[in-house]
Amino acid sequence: MPGTGSRGRSAWIRRIGWIVFAAWSFIGLLPISNKAEAAAEGTGADSVRAFRESADKLYAAVSQGNRLEASRSLRELERSLRGLPLKGIATAEGVQALGGSVAEMKRAWASATPDAARLEAAAGEIRLAADALANPDKPMWHRYRPILKEDANALAAAVGDGTGFAGPDARSALERLKKHYRLIRTAASLRGEPSAIERGDSVLRYAEKILKPDEPEASLARELAPSVREAMEGLFPAEGRETAAPATFMPPSWGFAATIGSFIVTILSWAGWRRFRYERDHPPSKPPAQPPAHPSAHPSAHPPVNPPGSLPPERRERR
């Protein structure tokens, strides 16, 4: 039909128009997406900052014995905890450890006979964890590396080679090591490997079993010190190497829009070339010529023919 080619071209033009419209709409939405992402980043940073400030206030109030200020800071800490962005915590174990530290602080605070040492230790755990969220590159808990190393060396010296096993000294060194380990455990869980935390927990449980007061197992003590050293060292990044912060979202630059534009031009050129080849290889066929009309089809166009030997009708009537 004559209108088939024009309708096909119109449909093709509409299809290409929709492609261009969708692509440029996507490009136009990029700035809005970038602004929303930047706003989310700002909100997350504010939440981390508020959590750290609450943790610092809580630790200061507990250290000074200011119960009124400590109670107020603990409530602020709980509120800011709910607003923390989860992407700042690398693992589910880190989320669980942070929630456990806050729960321990609440239990210690609600105790009928408050223990000052327990309160200060719980507040210290939260403070180090909050600092680890706010300063992932250089957190304060990394300063405990030489302290834990010294504790491990003291434990090794007290245990010796297992022959001259000194039980009380070894247990005292183990308690100091456990105290410092508990202090940094939550902060280390936020960005460390869960396997490193699990190894630290299991090594200390094993050491406690070997050095139990009733019957210390001197035969196993000689293998304890290397395991403790390795487990404590595994909590920290390699020496001389900074802690890597998680990669944040990088908004696409103007080059991304240029790439999309080039892609659109390429698609249009390809579609146009395909259309040209199709029309070249399949030219529109001409409509078939109409056959001449038969005289009998239009009786009014030609006068009737008289049979041979007969008179016209008017002469027959006169006759």
Q: Between 145-159 and 224-233, two packed helices, what is the crossing angle to 10 degrees?
A: 180
Structure tokens belonging to residue 189 = 């869980």
150-168 tens-digit pLDDT: 999 999 888 875 555 556 7
Spatial separation of the C-alpha atoms in residues 39 and 300, rounded to whole Å:
86
Spatial separation of the C-alpha atoms in residues 272 and 8, rounded to whole Å:
13
| Contact status, residue 208 vs residue 220, Cβ threshold 8 Å | no
Q: Kindly tell me the burial class for residue 132, based on how many C-beta atoms sit within 10 Å of its own C-beta (0-12, 13-18, 19 or more).
A: buried
Q: 125 in helix, strand or coil?
A: helix
Question: Residues 6-38, buried b or exposed e (16+ Cβ, 10 A)?
Answer: eeeeeeeeeebeeeeeeeeeebeeeeeeeeeee
pTM over 0.75: no
Q: What is the pLDDT of residue 225?
A: 87
Rg, Å, the chain Cα set: 43
Return the C-alpha torsion angle 50, 51, 57, 59, nearest 10: -170
Residues 6+ apart with CB under 8 A from 2: 287
174-232 tens-digit pLDDT: 999 999 999 999 999 998 899 999 999 999 999 988 887 776 676 777 788 899 999 99
Q: Which of 224, 236, 104 is nearest to 174 (CA)?
A: 224
Angle subtended at Cα 112 by Cα 111 and Cα 114, rounded to the nearest 5 degrees = 60
Spatial separation of the C-alpha atoms in residues 69 and 74, rounded to whole Å:
9
Spatial separation of the C-alpha atoms in residues 59 and 127, rounded to whole Å:
7
Q: Which of 62, 63, 94, 57 is nearest to 79 (CA)?
A: 57
| Domain parsing of the chain, residue ranges | 40-136, 141-240
pLDDT tens string for the chain (319 positions)?
Answer: 444 555 555 665 566 655 655 555 555 544 444 444 444 445 778 999 999 999 999 999 999 999 999 999 999 999 999 989 877 787 899 999 999 999 999 999 998 888 999 999 999 999 999 999 999 999 999 999 999 999 999 998 888 755 555 567 888 999 999 999 999 999 999 988 999 999 999 999 999 888 877 766 767 777 888 999 999 999 999 875 544 444 333 333 334 444 455 555 556 665 665 665 666 666 666 555 555 555 554 545 455 555 555 555 555 555 4
DSSP 8-state symbol, 244: P
Spatial separation of the C-alpha atoms in residues 216 and 208, rounded to whole Å:
9
Q: Kindly tell me the burial class for residue 64, based on how many C-beta atoms sit within 10 Å of its own C-beta (0-12, 13-18, 19 or more).
A: exposed
| CATH topology for the 141-240 domain | Four Helix Bundle (Hemerythrin (Met), subunit A) (1.20.120)
